[in-house]
Amino acid sequence: MAQLKIEKVLNNNVLIAEHPSYGEVVLIGKGLGFNRKHWDTIETDSVEKIFVLKNEKEQENYIKLLPFIDNEYLEVIIAAIELIKQRTNSMLNEHIHVALTDHLMFALTRVTQGLEMKNPFLIETKALYRHEYEVAKDVVELINEKTGINLPIGEVGFIALHIHSALTNKNLSDVNQHSQLVSRLVDMVEEQLEIEIDKEGIDYMRLVRHLRFAIERVIKGEKVDEPEKISALLKDEYPVCYNLSWKLIKVMQQSLKLKVFDAEAVYLTMHLQRLQKKFK
């Protein structure tokens, strides 16, 4: 159990304290600073809902945000991150406190001013990160309950990306790039095969999942075995799908700046052929 000494109360919800192992830390928790004074002690293990920011850069950025955040909004954002932590049952990357606080503060301000930011990758995000999307829906519901502000559906997608980023320790810009890449690849499939895939249907889910796993394999440098005989057969039997799979792979390579193994074309061709067959 860590006993911390309070150095400074920044507001009702945020303190700076001295931690025996980490040195100076920022403590975040709803009502945490209320009635606390300099050099009071606080035990982290006795309060479940305390977030301890250890990373100096994250501490600094979080403290910079505070003057711009309405206290009521801050309490609701802290409750939202607590909900994410409970629902995902995970240690979240500390950066979520800065990134999501910043994002939600602007989102709430925009909505109260009657402005809405469109989310062009909402459907892809929902298909790529189902669990994060469901948790994000609960976050939007919680915000509505506590503030009376109804965030638009696009925000569910944005929040889901923040959750995914915090769970996987991936940079948010990489997460965004992958959603955009999947969106571009799906557009190419629809255009080349002259089909329109139902974005709520199982075919779309399967295609997006296939592309997502392919992207993840490429990033990790995981090689999949190439059945050579099948490759030649597919090229002869399904030239349209085979050529399309290579076009998709070229776009993946350009976007990720990484090598895509030839075997991906085999599995992608088989997937595309099954998809095309359904639409014939």
Report the chain's mean pLDDT, rounded to a whole number.
Answer: 91
Taking 90 as the threshold, does the pLDDT of residue 84 lie above it? Answer: yes
Task: Specify the pLDDT at position 258.
Answer: 93
Q: Read off the pTM.
A: 0.87
Task: Specify the pLDDT at position 226.
Answer: 65
Higher pLDDT, 98 or 91: 98
Task: Specify the pLDDT at position 47.
Answer: 65
**How far, rounded to the nearest angstrom, does the alpha carbon of residue 247 sit from its chain's CA centroid?**
27
Taking 70 as the threshold, does the pLDDT of residue 78 lie above it? Answer: yes
Q: How many whole angstroms separate alpha carbon 106 and alpha carbon 155?
A: 11
Higher pLDDT, 222 or 256: 256
pLDDT tens per residue, range 180-238: 999 999 999 999 999 999 998 889 989 999 999 999 999 988 877 766 678 888 889 99
Confidence band for 33, pLDDT divided at 50, 70 and 90: confident
What average pLDDT does the segment 102-125 reach? 90
Confidence band for 1, pLDDT divided at 50, 70 and 90: low
All structural domains of the chain: 1-54 (2.30.24.10), 56-170 (1.10.1790.10), 173-279 (1.10.1790.10)
What average pLDDT does the segment 36-60 reach? 83
Task: Specify the pLDDT at position 45.
Answer: 66
Other Cβ atoms within 10 Å of 169 Cβ, number: 10
For 265, counting Cβ atoms within 10 Å of its Cβ (0-12 exposed, 13-18 middle, 19+ buried), the class is buried
